[in-house]
Amino acid sequence: MKILVFVKQVPDTTDVKLDPKTGNLNREGVVSMMNPLDANGIEAALQLKEKYGATVDVVSMGPPQAMDVLKKALAMGCDEAFLLSDRVFGGADTLATGYTLAKAAEKIGDYDLLIFGRHASDGETAQTGPVTAAFLGVPQISLAKSLDVQDGWAVCTRDTEDATETVRAKLPALVTVCAEINTPRYASGKGIIQAMKKPRTTWNHEDLGADPAKCGIPGSPSETKRLFEPKHEKVDTVIFKGEPEEIAKQFVDMLEAQHLL
């Protein structure tokens, strides 16, 4: 079984700036990290690897420094890393990103399962995984809080508004995972050393056979009409302590003092 996990490098801060001309994040000087939900995707893949035997490849699209998150994935236990890095990919929305990631999956080939985090913390659209599945023409399961492979099917559970449902999709399939699915492991010292010897490949649009008109800004039909940075305001926080009855009384007293009751 071959599993592809897709990860993204995102800003490790809430104090980010926006480019007023392009509407994109200004990442210059901002510390980056692996998108947290993508770490859950890696852990889900590694658990399947340990349970059934599999190879786990990790893929990311971004500037050269995005190799840092791929190194972390290799140290966690992934087998091979692929970085999609090209100025042609810059400024992509979810449609153009999904197209590029799908081209990478096609080039790697022979995959059984593709795993994404539910969404990226810098965009929170939850669209990239489903868009990639559409380009590849494979079934998808979103919002998975558990993942297993049984007799050639991906089997997941996910929560709805009033129930938990079990869903399955014939492999090859794509799954997006929620944080509830697991707790990602830390890279061990041995894993960090082994990661230095694992293969890493960088591809541009020509390597992928990708149409530049479908990548980056040219391939992105969405436009930012208006953007602004939210105000960061500090508010007073009141912490109540004691037994539940005491806390309830303190809370009611506060509401009465503020004429809210």
Separation CA 77–CA 42 (nearest Å): 9
Going by pLDDT thresholds of 50, 70 and 90, the confidence category of residue 39 is very high
Per cent of the chain over pLDDT 90 is 69
Q: Report the CATH number of the 2-214 domain.
A: 3.40.50.620
pLDDT tens readout for residues 66-88: 999 999 999 999 999 999 999 99
Over the stretch 117-152, which tens digit does the pLDDT of each residue have? 988 877 678 889 999 999 999 999 999 999 999 999
Q: What is the pLDDT of residue 28?
A: 61
Average pLDDT over residues 206-223: 93
Tens digit of pLDDT for each residue in 21-35? 655 556 565 567 898
Going from the C-alpha of 86 to that of each of 11, 184, 256, the distances in angstroms are 20, 30, 60
**What is the model's pLDDT at position 148?**
97
98, 215 Cβ separation under 8 angstroms: no
Q: Which residues contact 174 (CB under 8 A, 6 or more apart)?
A: 113, 114, 115, 116, 129, 130, 132, 133, 136, 138, 139, 140, 141
Local confidence band at 155 (pLDDT 50, 70, 90 cut-offs): very high
* Domain residue ranges in the chain: 2-214
Q: Is the dihedral of CA 49, 125, 179, 16 positive or negative?
A: positive
pLDDT tens profile 159-194? 988 899 999 999 999 999 999 999 999 999 999 999
pTM of the model: 0.81
pLDDT of res. 17: 63
